[in-house]
Amino acid sequence: MFLPLSSRGNESLLDSSNSSGNGDSIPMEQESSTSMSSVASSRKKDRYTGNARRFRIFGVDFSPDSVAVAMVYFVQGALGLSRLAVSFYLKDDLHLDPAETALISGFSSLPWLVKPLYGFISDSFPLFGYRRRSYLVLSGLLGALSWSLMATFVDSKYGAVVCILIGSLSVAFSDVVVDSMVVERARGESQAISGSLQSLCWGSSAFGAIVSSYFSGSLVDAYGVRFVFGITALLPMITSAVAVLVKEQHVPGPTRGQNVLLANPSFLESSRENIIQLWNAVREPNVFLPTVFIFLWQATPQSDSAVFYFTTNKLGFTPEFLGRVKLVTSVASLVGVGLYNGFLKRVPLRKNFLATTIIGTAFGMTQVLLVTGLNRQLGISDEWFAIGDSLILTVLGQ
C-alpha cells in the first residue's frame, strides 16, 4: 500500500572546488569542509523530515488529510462486522420474515438519499467553528450511540429500525464530509490523479472490510449478536478521533444568542443561488443521464434478504461460512481496486462502464443456478459456487 516515491539524483554542491586558486588553499579547505558538513547535516535533516512526503498510498501523497480520509473509509468497511449480526438478529431474535427484513434494509438506505443536504448543512452551518472536523466528531458519536443501544436495550423491530437509521445517518454524513475533502483535492487534477484518490477511498474501505469480515461470522457463532454490536460501537469512535488530522481554518460563528440567519444576512440569497446552480447542473445531459442510470440501477429490486434466508434455511450456510464468503468478497474488492488503479484508471470511463456492465449482467444471472440447484448437477458444491460467484461480481463492481 505504501510505495516510495522516486528520489531525485544527488546534485554536485561544490562544483568550484577544482577551479579554485592555490593561494588561499588552507582557509578555503576549512571553509569548504565546514560548508560541506553544514550542507550534509541539512540534507540529512531534510531526508528525515521529508519521509512523510516520500510515501504514497494508492498513488496519493501521504499527509494528515489523506490519513483522515483513509481511516474514515476504513471504518466504513470495518462496520461490515455487524452486517451478518444484524441479519441474524432480525431473523432469529426478532423472528422477522424476508419481506420485513428487506423493508428495514430499505429504511437504512434513506439517509443516503439526501446526501447533498448534508454537504449543504456542513458548508452553511459550521459547528463549533469547523465545517469538517466537528461533523466528523458528531458522526462518530452518533454511530457509537446507535450500536451501543443495539447491544444493550433494543428488543423490538421499531427500536432496531431507529438505531439502524441513526447508524446509517452517521456513516452517510461522514462519507459526505470526506468526499468533499476528496473533491477539493481532486479539483483541476487529471483523471489518473482522481482515480488514485478514489482508489485510496475504496481500497481503505476494502481493507477495513477484510479485517472485519474475517471475524464477523465466527464472533456471531461464539458470542452472539449483541457482543458483535458492542464491538461495532467502538469503530465509529475512530472517525471522531481522526478528525483532529483534518487541516481546516477556524470559521467565526454567530455570537451567543444571535440567530444564525441574522448573523449571515446573505444566507438565504446564497442558498437560493446554490439551489439554482444545482438544478442547472442536473439539467446538463452529462449529469442528468448518468443520474437516471444510477437511479434505475438502485431502483432495481434487490434479492439480498431472500437469498440470505434461502442460504441459511435451505442450504444450511452457517454464520462462520458466511463470514468467510464476506472475507473472500472483501479481498476481491481490494483486488478490483488494485486492477483499476494499476491498469484501468487511464482508460476512458465509457469503455470501463460498458465492459463491466455487460460482463456483470452475464455473471449476475448465475445466482439462478444456485437457487435451482443446477450448480450441483454441474459438479460444483453450493459453498464453492457461492464463493466464486461473489468473488467475480465483487471484482467487477469495484
CA distance 325 to 23: 80
Cβ–Cβ under 8 Å, residues 180 and 119: yes
Whole-model pTM?
0.71
Phi, psi of 299 (to 5 degrees): -80, -10
| Nearest-10 crossing angle of helices 64-78, 157-186 | 150
pLDDT of the residue at 262: 52
The pLDDT tens digits of the residues spanning 17-37 come to 333 344 444 444 444 444 444
Indicate the helix (H) or strand (E) that contains 4: strand 2-4
CA distance 362 to 151: 40
CA distance 387 to 175: 29
The pLDDT tens digits of the residues spanning 170-191 come to 999 999 998 888 877 766 556 5
Cβ–Cβ under 8 Å, residues 225 and 85: yes
Nearest 10 degrees: Cα torsion 315, 224, 213, 137: 140
In eight-state DSSP terms, residue 193 is H
Burial 318-341 (b: 16+ CB within 10 A, else e): ebebbbbbbbbbbbbbbebbbebb
Indicate the helix (H) or strand (E) that contains 121: helix 115-124
- Smallest CA-to-CA distance from 54 within 104, 124, 7, 17 is with 7
The pLDDT tens digits of the residues spanning 225-250 come to 999 999 999 999 999 999 988 887 77
- What domains can be seen in the chain, in order of their start residue? 58-251 (1.20.1250.20)
CA distance 211 to 347: 31
Max Cα distance, the chain (Å): 98
Cell of 95: 423472528
> What are the per-10-residue average pLDDT scores of the chain (398 residues)?
37 35 42 45 44 57 79 91 92 91 87 85 82 91 96 93 94 90 70 70 84 86 93 94 85 58 59 78 84 81 82 87 85 79 77 81 80 86 82 71
Q: What is the sign of the dihedral through the CA atoms of 349, 354, 359 and 361?
A: positive
